[in-house]
Amino acid sequence: MKIICDLSGIVNYNQPAQGVRNIKNSGFETVFIDLKDIYMSSRKDKEINLFDACRTVAIKCKENNMQIYGFRIPCLQEDSSEFDLYQLQLQLAEEAIKICNETDSRYLIIPPVYSTQPAANQWEVNREYYIKLGKKAQENNVMILLENQYRTYNGRRIRGLCSDEKEAAQWIDKLNEIIGHEIFGFCMNTGHCNLFGKNMQELARTLGSRIKTVILQDSYGHSEGSLLPFTAVNGKTSQTDWLSLIRGLREIDYDGGLILDIEDTAAAFSPLLKPQLLSLTKDIAE
Write the DSSP assignment of 169-212 as a string of letters. Answer: HHHHHHHHHHHTS--EEEEEEHHHHHHTT--HHHHHHHHGGGEE
Residue 80 has pLDDT above 60, yes or no: no
Contact criterion met (CB below 8 Å) for 228 and 265 = yes
Residue 81 has pLDDT above 60, yes or no: no
Instruction: Between 238 and 221, name the one with better pLDDT.
Output: 238
pLDDT of 240: 94
pLDDT of 36: 87
Rounded mean pLDDT of 41-56?
70
Residue type, 275: P
Which of the 8 DSSP states describes residue 121?
Answer: G
Round the average pLDDT of the chain to a whole number and report it: 89
Specify the range with the lowest mean pLDDT, choosing from 30-39, 82-91, 173-182.
82-91
pLDDT of 175: 97
Whole-number Cα distances in Å, 100 to 41, 104, 217, 226, 270:
21, 6, 24, 24, 32
pLDDT in tens, 83-95: 467 888 898 899 9
Rounded mean pLDDT of 214-240?
93
Mode of pairing for the β-strands spanning 107-109 and 143-147: parallel
pLDDT in tens, 113-142: 876 566 667 788 899 999 999 999 999 999
All residues at 6 or more sequence positions from 72 whose CB lies less than 8 Å from its CB, including other chains:
32, 33, 34, 35, 36, 108, 109, 110, 147
Residue type, 149: Q
Contact criterion met (CB below 8 Å) for 30 and 20 = no
Instruction: Between 27 and 121, name the one with better pLDDT.
Output: 27
pLDDT of 160: 75
| Percentage of the chain modeled with pLDDT above 90 | 68
